Amino acid sequence: MTANYPTADLLTPKQHIRVGCWNVRTLYQAGRLAQAAKEMDRYNISLLGMSEVRWTGTGKQRLNSGGVMIWSGRSDNIHHEGVALLVSKKHANTILQWKPVNERLLYVRLNSKYAKLSIVVAYAPIDNAEEETKDTFYSSLQAVLDYIPRHDVTMLLGDFNARVGQNSHNRSRVMGTHALGDITDNGERLV
């Protein structure tokens, strides 16, 4: 899907943007979307990737706050999984195109004078899911990443359902100190 005429500029040399990524557990309850948008404004977040949204179908919706929500959910009317991107009011006019891939992947391309920004919002299967399900997800993710124009700035947001464990030896540049448990297969792929 493409937007008509994006007018705003997202990435500029002197402007900072805040990006967030939340597993919201569900937006399929009254008031949850408004609550997420309010928290996004409170933390001054420009772009918010969300997983486990639990909305069905796909779409783009302008919110009362002026922001835009783009989502990709299941097509069988079952309220599980689902990913979304909330774009703040200030940057709502930067959306060039969006492509719902499936209930676990969403691609959105945003305009800027200096560089286009491609965002992929992902929600990976849990570690004990079937190997075929995990392989399908990662194959689809790679296909989306390969689709992105090479000159775009690429941002991958999401919940990869990985436990990174407490041992951050040789990983201090990509891993904080507040983890629990032992590393999983998904964690090894990311780290």
What pTM was computed for the model? 0.83
Q: Is the pLDDT of residue 30 over 90?
A: no
Residue 189: band (very low, low, confident or very high) from pLDDT cuts 50, 70, 90:
very low
Mean pLDDT of the chain: 86
State whether residue 34 is helix, strand or coil.
Answer: helix
Q: Is the pLDDT of residue 191 over 50?
A: no
Residue range 103-117: mean pLDDT, rounded = 93
Q: Is the pLDDT of residue 179 over 80?
A: no
Of 15-24, 40-49, 96-105, the one with minimum mean pLDDT is: 15-24
Q: Is the pLDDT of residue 128 over 50?
A: yes
pLDDT in tens, 52-107: 999 999 999 999 989 999 999 999 999 999 999 999 999 999 999 999 999 999 99
* CA angle (31 as vertex; 26, 33 as ends), nearest 5: 55
Of 4-13, 69-78, 108-117, 158-167, the one with minimum mean pLDDT is: 4-13
Give the C-alpha separation, 138 to 101, whole Å. 13
Question: By C-alpha distance, which of 89, 90, 95, 91 is closest to 110?
Answer: 95
What contacts 173, CB < 8 A, 6 or more positions away?
A: none
Q: If DSSP states are collapsed to H, E and C, what string results for 136-187?
A: HHHHHHHHHHHHCCCCCEEEEEEECCCCCCCCCCCCCCCCCCCCCCCCCHHH
Tokens of 38: 């309010």
pLDDT at 65: 87
Give the C-alpha separation, 33 to 110, whole Å. 22
pLDDT at 174: 65
Tokens of 25: 């557990």
* CA angle (97 as vertex; 47, 37 as ends), nearest 5: 30
pLDDT at 190: 42
Residue 5: band (very low, low, confident or very high) from pLDDT cuts 50, 70, 90:
low
Residue range 160-182: mean pLDDT, rounded = 70
What contacts 34, CB < 8 A, 6 or more positions away?
A: 63, 64
